[in-house]
Amino acid sequence: MASSLDEKRPFVKTEPGLNEIPVPAAAVPSRPAAPRVPRWAQILLKVALVTWFWVSVRTWARANVDVVLEAHEAQWLATAFSGSVEDHHVWRSRKILFGKKAEQKFLSVPNAPSAVAASRQYATKPHMAGTPGDFDTAVDFLKLLQTEFGAAVPTALPIYSAGTPESRNATLGITKLKAPTAWIDTYYPVMNTPLDHSLEILDDDGNSVWTAALEEVADDTDPEAGKYYDAITTWHGLSRGGSAKGKLVYANYGRKEDFDDLVAKGVDLNGTIVIARYGGNFRGLKVKGAQEHGAVACLIYSDPRDDGTVTAENGYAAYPHGPARNPNSVQRGSTQFLSIYPGDPTTPGYPSYENSTRTNGTNIPSIPSLPLSWANAQKLLEELKDGGLNRTISLVNNVDDKVIPIWNTIGVIPGHIKDEVVVVGNHRDAWVMGASDPSSGTSSIHEVIRGLGELLRNGWTPLRTIVIASWDAEEYGLIGSTEWGEDFAGWIDEHVVAYLNLDSSVSGSRFRALATPSLAHFVRGIAEEIEHPTKAGKTLWDATKDSGVLTGDHIDPEVLAAHEASEVEASADSTGVGLLGSGSDFTVFVQRAGVASNNIGFQSTLQDPVYHYHSVFDSERWMEMYGDPGFGRHVAIAKHLGLQTVRLADSIVLPINTTHHALELQHYLNKVESIASTTALDVDFSGLRGAIHSLQKASAKLDTEKTRAEKKLRKLLRRLAVRHLVRRNIRRSLCRLRKVLGKECTHHGIAPAALPAALPAHAEKAFECSSMAKGGKNGFLPFQPRVGRAPAWAKEQRGREEGEHGHGKKPSFPAKKFRKAAQRVRAVNQKLKAFERGFIHEEGIKDREWYRNLDIAPGKWLGYGATTFPALTEAFTIEKNATMAQYEAKRLQQLIEKLAHEIKV
């Protein structure tokens, strides 16, 4: 029985006995075990998969990061630099103009028809400083700023008397503004206006044998010139009133060397009337030279020899029938001693308020003067020819000296970095109509303002604040800009990072750029980006080699030699950008405040149609027919100036090249040493040379730091853009998945229907980062997911608000890192801003202490032209004093050593 049971249970194993080997109840073949994957290989595979996924995501993200930056870079930078989100707008889903997109948008705006219309608005009627016509242009410019910038328009015109709380607060409050604004400041300088004048040749009995027709003569061939030829008489602004009689003495250009030559020849100038031609130096210094040599009056005329090849001798007809000089044209202008100090003669160094204490001006003549046409000068020069009678000349110049109100029009576009300001200026007043000087500049800046207005309407806000200034009374002696600069010297020193000047945009065919050396590369670089106004395939910078096409066989050798010498001087800087002396509104910024500045424009050459400077023939007809047919040059200048403005305002690191300037100092010292070698003066320059080398080393290190600081900030921007892009697309993918599953796509865990009614309009864009939001880790990445319904959302919002006010956690990445990187950039920019300030010495230059820049200043006997190391150079060339030269070398050395320490990183 048992055996049968065992047969029936073949798969039942019996207990083995002792010493028996267990045998399976049945032999079931087993499968061979799969080879086991080593643990290291599993880890490697996982790492490879993760790496592949990460690289794929990163590659995809980087391919799209520029799109994200284009939309949000401006907002992120704004929060990083401003340190506050309180004044920012709500989160924006649309792109914000910034960088190259903003520049391209700007460049699409300036155009010739609009520039022509602006020129005709300003240049078809007289608007001398302080006249009703001048006031009308101030109001016109105010309305332009209000319209284009979207500034509030008060019921009454915002015209503030300088020195009043309204005027003071308007400028001092610029760094607190949240919206564009514009106003007019009224200053009260002492100027003068003409009463009557005359010029006669007298016989031996004192009877008049010839009387000059001093006014310009014009007809309706030029409509405005024919209408206004006698609206503003021919005279010199700030000239001394009175009369004089004396014999004529010809003084060529009336330069220092011309008077020295007369003295060397034994010519006695006491009691004489000097006659000199325009050119070579500032007209006021011609009068100063005559005055200091004992002359009783000075006459200054326009000589066709200085017109190059465009003369009647070469067959060219006179304007208005051709491009040559109208022999009746007269150059008006100020006879202020510009190289002593500019501005109101009676308030040197301080602003001209209505109730200001006045002094006797020391920068104005003590002898009368008159400007003359070539037609009148010819008659007088005949008196001096061999066989000439050299009869007595009688001159009368009666003027009315008085306080005359002038009007600076100011407009502001607030930026995110409110305490860094870019100022752009152009003077508005003209001696008559001034189609070139200054209305070509006004026309170009009109186009700049239109371009900035278009950017504002498209959501752009500059990183830095922009101030646009329309200065008044520049023609009398840079008065409007100087008074404002003296009024707000402390504010300028603290906040202004650069000043961009525009005087005349166009008077000829050659582009000319002047700048403090630290902005030379910046100015040239932008000119290389702008298209040439008349030659396809060339750039604006190529126009620095352009000349007119009106050639001729006859040209004065002295004029040609002087022109060639000026060309050499202009190209002395390796960039081809010239230096700023004086003669326009950059003066107070460069020479008094130490602000990096520049000035651009097209100038006349010896082959261009003759530019009738400060004449009634500087008219709209001349400009449209000869000066700039088609207005392409006006537009090119507008594009260059506007691109400078946008780029300076929006650049992370200021485009100020301290190293180029520091290297140029070596050339300035070499020049002084060359001058010294021609004298018997023994001066040691080793200390100064050592200081310059120290500054160059400090500047090179600053270059490294500014590169690293910007690179770090840009790296954070790209990292933030990648992070933003990845998170946004993850959220979108999850949203699509929920929709596939038939569920609603929630907003951070809250269904749309459950969102509270008071949910901010920007909430649905919470993953689109913006510095404009009130919330989201101080304006950055509000990525913390929300769960629950409205109560949870409200609780989180309260937490955010507490954090914003300092009661919550410290900001996590990227806010903290961004702020740190931005602070590093700000520190660099402060050093860049301080560089030009480093050449300012409170004691100024000997005999003209208003000028404080020991690096570059107008030459004492030049007025316009720049002299490098002016105090030191003039210790050799004018004072000829070794002790003074050594003192000036030491003073300059100490300034440069201090500056090297200040920019050290």
Q: Any idea which residues carry the catalytic annotation?
A: 474
The two structure tokens encoding residue 498: 């650069």
Q: Is the peptide bond before 24 cis (omega within 30 degrees of 0)?
A: no
CA within 13 Å, CB half, 24: 5
Interacting residues of 695 by C-beta distance below 8 A, sequence separation 6+: 662, 665, 896, 897, 899, 900, 903
Distance CA 175, CA 715 (A): 29
Residue 408 and residue 184 in contact, taking contact as beta carbons nearer than 8 Å: yes
CA proximity to 755, closest of 765, 747, 766, 743? 747
**The tokens 């020991």 sit on which residue?**
854
Distance CA 318, CA 324 (A): 4
Q: Is the peptide bond before 16 cis (omega within 30 degrees of 0)?
A: no
What 8-state DSSP symbol labels residue 610? P
- Output the CA angle 511-516-518, nearest 5 degrees: 110
Q: Is the peptide bond before 438 cis (omega within 30 degrees of 0)?
A: yes
Distance CA 452, CA 420 (A): 18
- 821-835 burial string, b = 16+ CB within 10 Å, else e? bbebbbebbebbbeb
Q: What is the three-class DSSP state of 902? A: helix
Residue 199 and residue 393 in contact, taking contact as beta carbons nearer than 8 Å: yes
Distance CA 318, CA 340 (A): 37
CA proximity to 891, closest of 863, 853, 860? 853
Considering Cα of 94, then 98, then 100, then 106, what sign does the dihedral take? positive
Residue 245 and residue 202 in contact, taking contact as beta carbons nearer than 8 Å: yes
Q: How many Cβ atoms sit within 10 Å of the Cβ of residue 270?
A: 9
The two structure tokens encoding residue 789: 């319904």
Residue 728 and residue 770 in contact, taking contact as beta carbons nearer than 8 Å: no
